[in-house]
Amino acid sequence: MTHGPLAPGSTIGILGGGQLGRMLATAGAALGFDAHVYEPEPDCPASRVAARSYCAPWDDIGAVEAFARRCDAITYEFENVPVETVEAAARVSVLRPGSKSLELTQDRLIEKTFINGAGVDTVPFAQVDDIDSLEAAIESIGLPAVLKTRRFGYDGKGQAWIRESGDARKAWVAIGEQPAILEGAAAFTRELSVVAARSVDGQVKAFPLAENVHGDGILKQTKAPAAGIDAATQGRALEIATAIGNGLDHVGVFAVELFDLGEAGLVVNEIAPRVHNTGHWTMDACGCGQFEQHMRAVAGWPLGDPAPHSACVMTNLIGEDALAWEDLAADPAARLHLYGKREVRSGRKMGHVNRLSTL
Ligand code: AMP
């Protein structure tokens, strides 16, 4: 086990084998690292670019340990890896980011409480455990409001809007009567995100704020740098990222999704303790993109320069969008990234396209 910077030729393990793991493995290879991937699903996108891959369930601690023993450092690309799994890996190898980043972000109630404790605003929220506490939360927060499961929500899943008090029971049933939080509606003018990295020695570097457009709960497009951001707002985004990165003792890249409330400033929606879809633009438009940046941090290397050399519009290829690959491949303005998923399914992220322009 080593705690100095990892030499090229070292092995970095990645828990999770989706497109994020694939792009991390590829960026790591460019720095001379081998990637080993651990993923419960067979034939995952990252396994086909990894030096070695392991297909076993998250709770197979023996398999996790066998994987970890061959790795000089281990990271994760998926925020719902069980904490017990990453703790098993951490007993055998170096885990970056640590388990704290998962523990504080897997549960929306714990996450928002942590964010407020770090001096950063969120929308108002309240804990909901049953229909009575939901009624009380509606009383204190007001309507409209959104009921969200505390755990395992992503891409808008596990959420139900409540517009009138008569909708409360329906929303509670819709989310599966699980531990939840009720959030006040943010009157945002747009959704932004800041993707940042924190090094082993605690340095934080952020990419410029990006503007994100969602449809059906899924990210469709990111425009970066976001238009009309003044220095004070960009500075506030760095302060927010620094407070969160330090509070998590995070090592590696993380993303903070924000609501832009205009005059009222920025509030945090959620944190992703990993590389993020809203940072995909950086791989073509910045000196050091998010995937290289993450591998640098995990390896204990100095962070690269996140400054953009171009503006970028990133468009996700969702489901059948990816069938247009021949046209996209023929478009000299399109930088095409495909994830190697065997099957096109509706709502599935199949790839993305970055289109650059002059800053
Ligand atoms: P989430 O899974 O929490 O990121 O929510 C998915 C999307 O729902 C966000 O990107 C927003 O567009 C919307 N949303 C979530 N929470 C709120 C909120 N409290 N107020 C307004 N819109 C929200």
**Which of 145-154, 172-181, 271-280 has the weakest average pLDDT?**
145-154
CB 22 within 8 A of CB 46: yes
Give the pLDDT of residue 152.
Answer: 87
Is residue 275 within 8 Å of 290, Cβ to Cβ? Answer: yes
| 61 Cα: distance to centroid of ligand 1 (angstroms) | 35
Domain assignments of the chain as residue spans, ordered by start? 11-95, 124-184, 190-357
In 3D, which of 284, 101, 258 has the Cα closest to residue 194? Answer: 258
**Residue 29 φ/ψ, nearest 5 degrees:** -60, -35
Tokens of 58: 């998250």
The angle formed by the CA atoms of residues 206, 209 and 214, to the nearest 5 degrees, is 125
103 near 43, Cβ under 8 Å?
Answer: no
What is the mean predicted confidence (pLDDT) over 239-262? 98
Q: What is the dihedral of CA 132, 137, 139, 140, to 10 degrees?
A: 150
The pLDDT of 57-65, averaged and rounded, is 98
d(CA 112, CA 269): 8
pLDDT value, residue 156: 67
Distance from the CA of 3 to the center of ligand 1, in angstroms? 39
Average pLDDT estimate for 135-147: 98
The CATH topology of domain 11-95 is Rossmann fold (3.40.50)
pLDDT > 80? residue 24 = yes
Does residue 1 surpass a pLDDT of 70?
no
Are the CB atoms for 121 and 265 separated by under 8 Å? Answer: yes
Confidence band of 2 (pLDDT split at 50, 70, 90): very low
- Residue among 80, 123, 146 whose CB has most ligand 1 atoms within 8 A, to mutate: 146
Which pTM value belongs to this model?
0.97
Residue 129 CA from chain centroid, whole number: 27
**Residues contacting ligand 1 via CB (< 6 Å):** 123, 146, 153, 156, 183, 185-186, 191, 214, 217, 257, 269-270
Reported as a pLDDT band with limits 50, 70 and 90, residue 258 is very high
Confidence of residue 120 (pLDDT cuts 50, 70, 90): very high
pLDDT at 5: 98
Pick the closest to residue 198 from 239, 252, 272 (CA basis).
252
**Residue 257 CA to ligand 1 centre (angstroms):** 10
* Average pLDDT score over the chain: 97
**How many angstroms does the Cα of residue 122 sit away from the middle of ligand 1?**
12
* CA 269–ligand 1 middle distance (angstroms): 7
Please state the CATH superfamily assignment of the domain spanning residues 124-184 in this structure. Answer: ATP-grasp fold, A domain (3.30.1490.20)
**What is the rounded (10 degree) CA torsion for 97, 103, 105, 108?**
180
Is 270's pLDDT higher than 60?
Answer: yes
| Amino acid type, 329 | A
Give dist(CA 309, CA 223) in Å, integer: 14
Q: What is the pLDDT of residue 281?
A: 99
Mean pLDDT confidence for 204-212: 98
Query: What is the atom index within ligand 1 of the atom nearest the CA of 153?
Result: 2
Output phi, psi for 318, to 5 deg.
Answer: -110, 130
pLDDT value of residue 155:
62
Nearest of 26, 18, 201 to residue 96 by alpha carbon: 201
pLDDT at residue 157, rounded to an integer:
77
CATH 3.30.565.10 for the 190-357 domain, yes or no: no
Q: What is the rounded CA–CA span in Å between residue 108 and residue 270?
A: 8
Residue 269: is its pLDDT beyond 60? yes
Backbone angles phi and psi of 289, in degrees to 5: -75, 170
